[in-house]
Chain A
Amino acid sequence: MRERVVITGTGAVSGAGRDPASMLGAILEGRSAIRAIEGWDTTGWPVTHAAEIPAFNARALVDDRKLHKFIRRTDLVGIYAGDRAAEAAGYAAHRESLSPEASAQFADRTGIYVGSGGGAFENQYDYFPLMSEAHGDLVKFGSDLADTVNPMWLLRTLPNNVLCHVGIRNRLKGTNACITNHSVGGTLAVIEALEALRTGEADRALAIGHDTPIEPQNVLYYHECGLLGANRLRPFDASRSGSLFGEGAGAFALETQTAARERRAPVVGSTRWASSRAPATMSSSGASTTTGAISRRIRRTSTSARTASTRARAVAARDSPARTAFTASSRTSRLARNRLGSVTMSPIAVTIGVDTAYGWLLALAIGLALGVLIGALQGFIIAYIGIPSFVVTLGGLLIFRGMVWVISGGATQAPNDKQFGVMAGGPEGSLGGPLSWALGIVFCVAIVLLLVYARRQRRRFNFPVRPIWAEIVIGVIGCAVTLAAVFVANSYKWPQGLVDRHLAEDPGFHVPPGGLDSGIPWPIVMLLAVTVLMTILATRRRFGRYVFAIGGNPEAAELGGINTRWTVMKTYILMGVLCAISAAITSARLNGASNDVGEGYELYVIAAAVIGGTSFAGGIGTISGAVLGAMVMYTLKYGLSFIGLESPIQDIVAGIVLIIAVGFDTLNRRRVR
């Protein structure tokens, strides 16, 4: 029996804020933490900007004068984060309510795990001059490293300062460990803490990550992976598009669900920990991939973290806190380009290593083909063998997710091919101004043509037609709405930082006065295309007519001479393709794929369709209704998040809205009938 692990408290500090909520806020608002360095001695560094904690005040972080005398700044942030998490989890308050024996027991069953770098702050910048000298020649950079970086850096300081002091300050006497492991110390601390809870060594444990050093070989590795900005190996500040370093720390108070319930601890999130193999995976796969994998596993670290991507980034920021290379710019370098074309099929992940410019298209095509295959398999079982669809698709969900887990070993496949990022939207994944206008005009022409065609059709058989003024009003309104939407999309400009980076890479990059229009994002274009195609399929083609007839009365459809089984199977094939498309967009937006992407979406999908007027009984519903339903669900989801409601409240509101929306619809239908 696996014990579920919940998060009862969080703590964090970085250049972006002093708690998870404000850091997440910064991410959501796109606020940068990069500023001119104030508190560090930058003598000899080619760097003047970093994500430094602004107006660093040791006493404000840790109220213990004695500590300030012999503990470094990097350790103080770790202590601060750990203290905050312990405080949020209510350790002290709970202990005070206990008898002396129970209190001692509580302390003994509370562990602490810290990913620590050992405070070798200066050493990390030792190789900066080498970077400049190497002029992007990695071989030269690598060969010079050995002479420059002091291999004894770890011995210069005590690596377990944070472990000791947080433990003492919060009376955590249980199992503990200090991990100093490259840039994934924070991640490993979380893993070790989870493992301790899983094996029953502790009931709760604090997991802290701080001061995780980037050693030169890590930088080389990140560079290979395409995690570092720009296509040359260089620090951020050289032309503001290299690698950025920052400081910070983060902590989780983790606890078994049983223990948390017993002491009525506040639960702010839960982990998705289910496998003991992950630590092994860790050593075999790269640092960055594992960081991503773990970070995605830890859900709802912050109560307001809502989308998978922001969630992942928020945790990643916490996970690799002090002086970890933040990527201030594009994650893809020339070396890493085209190395990974990664598509997550929900539910199958494909990673293809192909060194061609069109590798991502191949990956996409294989993902879509896999969608066809899975849809066909499920459709065959449902239509020809006759197992209820709910059972087959639910079983399929478990099977294919499990397969993805086996294939990926639980690790996140990241990063994606840069070209694949087009499907993620954002300024670089949008049509741009002129093409957006062109698309808008195409839509307007289509509206007019459709109106003319419909009128001509009805004229052909002398059916009653709308008065001509009504047709014109409808056409004008349709076109106006379309063009207004394009105008709004075009009034979003490229952010200056992005423009600068493009200018740095290509001096001929043209920016018109007033800024570069973003335009309509590609995912929206794909949504429009899918909506139009599906509407045609549903209302203008035999297939759609048959699907509705089968939904209304399967026997009548069969007696009418429709090959109902083949039609049902085709429906599932179509669902497989649509699922593959949405999975591709999702993985593009996450810039990676993991086996739990899209978990829980099945319920949102049902809710969206039902809100959009689709009938559970079958035979009723429209494509545009389902799209609107999805918009309602997600507008609600994001909207509630932005006005600061916590996730449980969001869930409650979403559930109420679902019932009310469908209730209105039901009453309305009843009245009409």
Chain B
Amino acid sequence: MTSEQTPPLVEMRDISVAFGGVHAVERATVTLKAGEVVGLVGGNGAGKSTLMRVLSGAHPPDSGEILIDGEKVTIANPRDAKVLKIETIYQTLALADNIDAPANLFLGRELVSQSGMLDDSAMEDATRKVMGRLNPNFKRFKVPVRTLSGGQRQAVAIARAVYFNARILIMDEPTAALGPAETAQVRDLIRQLRSEGLGIFLVSHDIHDVFDLADRISVMYHGRIVDTVGKSDTSIDDVLAMIILGKPPGEASKEELKPLIG
């Protein structure tokens, strides 16, 4: 991959993050190309979300560097990430429950009239349009998002990420709170966005989800990247083994693999 002529869309090199004495992420390196979905998998506390928070500006790294289109960038806060067209759908959704959907969608990037007044009507109009694409049944534009269902809230969070023409999309467990129909919708959306040329980091517990959508899969274990494999070069069992043992399949002994493969 590194031998390619065009530099990757995103390259995170030797990223380390420590909370106190605990290494949440340790010298992790991942890459992402345009029009590619990279799945990030691992057990609880493997460091997937923390690594992605580094890219989205929510948590600056202790060491390591980030390259976008081969150029070194500094992402100190979410504003920097948004300028670089990196959008994130957080596991927690990161919605302000007390304000309505348009206000959440445009939070931090409100549309204003020439006099600097909020243009709520224009924001509502834009929200109606983007939500029409994501969730045509959504009609509750004027109520606090607190009163919305889990799926509706998720739709608002996704709408926020896709509305601003992101180049890089980070999706942290995007289907965790959704029913089967909504999950299918999100899958279609991911495929569609990939075909539009976005690079997508997909963080998920659901190995089937990842296998279904990702082009490549990076496995994390205790803050380190175990390996990054192309979907066609691996199997679900191999990936599971890496998640559980923290070693590439070649390095694992038969005894270790036995109980897993059974």
Contacts and interface: CB of A to CB of B under 8 A. Distances in A.
A644 B124 CA distance: 54
Given A542-B118, A545-B99, A549-B99, A561 B124 contact: no
B69 to A, nearest CB: 21
Chain A, interface size category, equals 20 to 34
B125 interface: yes
B107 A619 contact: no
B96 A552 contact: yes
Nearest to A460: B121
Chain B: interface residue count, which band? 20 to 34
B35 to A, nearest CB: 26
Interface in B61-98: 77-79, 82, 88, 90, 92-98
A545 B105 CA distance: 12
A549 B107 contact: yes
Interface in A545-599: 545-546, 548-549, 551-553, 555-563
Interface string B225-243: 0000000000000000000
Given A559-B78, A561-B78, A561-B79, A619 B147 contact: no
B31 interface: no
Most B Cβ at <10 Å: residue of A541, A545, A556, A559: A559
Interface in A412-443: none
Nearest to A549: B96
A65 interface: no
B122 interface: yes
B107 A556 contact: yes
Given A540-B118, A553-B94, A559-B94, A673 B99 contact: no
A567 B90 CA distance: 23
Contact of B78 (A560, A619, A620): A560
A673 B98 CA distance: 13
B101 to A, nearest CB: 13
Which of A460, A463, A555, A560 has most chain B Cβ within 10 Å?
A: A560
Contact of B121 (A461, A536, A552): A461
A458 interface: yes
A563 B57 CA distance: 13
A463 B128 CA distance: 10
A620 B104 CA distance: 15
A548 B117 CA distance: 16
Given A461-B122, A461-B125, A562-B107, A542 B96 contact: no
Contact of A561 (B98, B104, B108): B108
Nearest to B90: A559
A457 interface: yes
B60 to A, nearest CB: 13
B56 interface: yes
Contacts of A620: 98
Given A548-B98, A553-B95, A673-B147, A561 B82 contact: yes
A553 B108 contact: no
B117 A541 contact: yes
B148 interface: no
Contact of A541 (B58, B94, B118, B147): B118
A458 to B, nearest CB: 6
Given A458-B121, A541-B116, A549-B103, A557 B96 contact: yes
Interface string A226-239: 00000000000000
Interface centre among B96, B108, B116 (most CB of A within 10 A): B96
B112 A619 contact: no
B97 A553 contact: yes
B110 interface: yes
Contact of B94 (A461, A536, A540, A556): A556
Nearest to A454: B121
Contacts of B108: 546, 557, 560-562
Nearest to B58: A559
A461 B95 contact: no
A552 B56 contact: no
B152 to A, nearest CB: 15
B121 A556 contact: no
B195 to A, nearest CB: 27
A618 to B, nearest CB: 8
Contact of A560 (B94, B98, B116): B94
A546 B103 CA distance: 10
Contacts of A542: 110, 112, 116, 118
A461 B120 CA distance: 11
B109 interface: yes
Given A458-B121, A461-B124, A541-B116, A556 B110 contact: no
Given A553-B95, A553-B97, 4 more contacts: A549-B96, A559-B78, A560-B78, A562-B108
30 contacts: A457-B120, A461-B121, A461-B125, A463-B125, A536-B117, A541-B116, A542-B110, A545-B103, A548-B98, A551-B98, A552-B96, A552-B98, A553-B94, A553-B96, A553-B97, A553-B98, A557-B96, A557-B107, A557-B108, A558-B58, A558-B78, A560-B94, A560-B96, A560-B107, A561-B107, A562-B107, A562-B108, A618-B98, A619-B98, A673-B147
Which 9 pairs show the lowest CB-CB distances between chains A and B? A552-B98, A619-B98, A561-B108, A560-B107, A552-B96, A560-B108, A461-B125, A556-B94, A549-B96
